[in-house]
A = this chain, B = another copy of it.
């Protein structure tokens, strides 16, 4: 097989991602310098509030960097390395007896697989900037680097709250079940620590009738709110109460992770009848789909009332690998994007609320063909519609450039909402924002170098993308 290289210097070029042509590079450097040190706004992500509530040290390099990061272990798995060997816990939460150092060695020996991927950029940036590592990770230095990171993790400056500050985070949003007690968010708040760790209302467990434990979830929803969730009205009121509870605890947004972007606008009577079938478990597959579609429109209605910004993330075929899912459960790198339609799918919702400036609906996609064909035209017309940044598989230098190149000419910059790091890999957050700011600098520098925008305007745009547009879209 392919033999990896032996150790070499880890050098992060200060102008990385900028174009080679010197004129454009100089402009990109100036634009980047104007936002490089601005605080990080992270309005959408998947870190754990418990880290910041408890502020315990992270256990070891493997548990921190490899085992929670499906970008990393999906690549290793794709080359034939079983998840068991990597100590990934199974669906019951148990992992095979694995030595974290042994897992790290496997990772190190296969580090060459990540060449050309954003994961490589994020990791190298963390290694260099955070841990001061000066050699590229490889078989030979695996132990040395493991020990170095492990030692750092015991220091007070590597605890979650200290890192939040080192990273200059100003806001860090989590993604939470509508049934969550938000105890960790409340604990953070009452601790007096100044960090802003905000919950996000993600109702999938109580709007997706095929979600594991759906009926139990409904029952709990009723208990938590004192509403009679056997009725459509009671169910909606229960959701309103939970949204209010999230808002009281700092939430400014909801998030919706549907298979498609389909929306519906049923009559009161049709919706009630549908809900009866959903609640009683007598629904068909088509009913489940229709119910999710209807619930997007209901959620938009509630957003118009309570002002929560609404995020829609459609298009991922979850748990594509049935055998792996049976053994390891969700979020194991086996979610695969598929073709996604927005124009007709969103029409029912947009007919009702698309012209309402009280709604902020942020659309994301895994189907890049929709940037220029569907999403930019929608965002460039409907007052309620905004475009989220390049998402998931496309959250990468080339992916971000395609987003700007394909969306800007129709939607402009001001119908977009800045960057989301969308990660559960806490240590990668500064690196991800660094990449996003560099790519925006690169895109804008190209416009300036080609006489399409004045540099003074480009500075204003990149500052807006980094700060103001995020704060406005997410009401921060």
Contact = CB atoms under 8 A, between A and B. Distances in A.
Interface of A: 1-2, 5, 8, 11-13, 15-21, 23-24, 74-75, 77-80, 112-118, 120-121, 136, 317, 320-324, 333-334, 336-339, 341, 343-344, 347, 350-351, 354-355, 357, 366-369, 372-374, 376-383, 385, 393-394, 396-399, 405-406, 408-415, 446-447, 449-454, 456-457, 460-461, 464, 468-469, 472
A307 to B, nearest CB: 15
A398 B324 CA distance: 37
A451 B121 CA distance: 10
A118 B385 CA distance: 21
Contacts of A393: 372, 376-377, 409-410
Nearest to A377: B336
A339 B451 contact: no
A324 B355 contact: yes
A40 B399 CA distance: 32
B460 A337 contact: no
Given A2-B469, A398-B409, 9 more contacts: A18-B450, A20-B449, A21-B21, A112-B457, A116-B447, A337-B377, A372-B394, A372-B399, A393-B409
A116 B321 CA distance: 42
Contacts of A461: 115-116
Contacts of A415: 78-79
Contacts of A5: 456-457, 460
Contact of A23 (B20, B354, B468): B20
A408 B185 CA distance: 38
Contacts of A373: 337-339, 366-369
A385 to B, nearest CB: 8
Contacts of A351: 321-323
Nearest to A382: B78
A21 B21 CA distance: 6
A325 to B, nearest CB: 10
Nearest to A472: B1
Contacts of A23: 20
Contacts of A396: 409-410
A410 to B, nearest CB: 5
Given A5-B456, A112-B414, A409-B396, A338 B344 contact: yes
Pairs A-B, 7 closest by C-beta atoms = A13-B451, A16-B451, A20-B449, A396-B409, A116-B408, A80-B357, A20-B24
A450 B19 contact: yes
A336 B372 CA distance: 10
A114 B412 contact: yes
B77 A450 contact: no
B366 A116 contact: no
A333 B415 CA distance: 15
A75 B453 CA distance: 18
A53 B338 CA distance: 47
B450 A17 contact: yes
A425 to B, nearest CB: 16
A74 B380 contact: yes
16 contacts: A1-B472, A11-B454, A12-B451, A74-B381, A78-B379, A78-B415, A79-B383, A114-B412, A115-B453, A116-B447, A337-B377, A339-B369, A367-B373, A368-B373, A369-B373, A372-B394
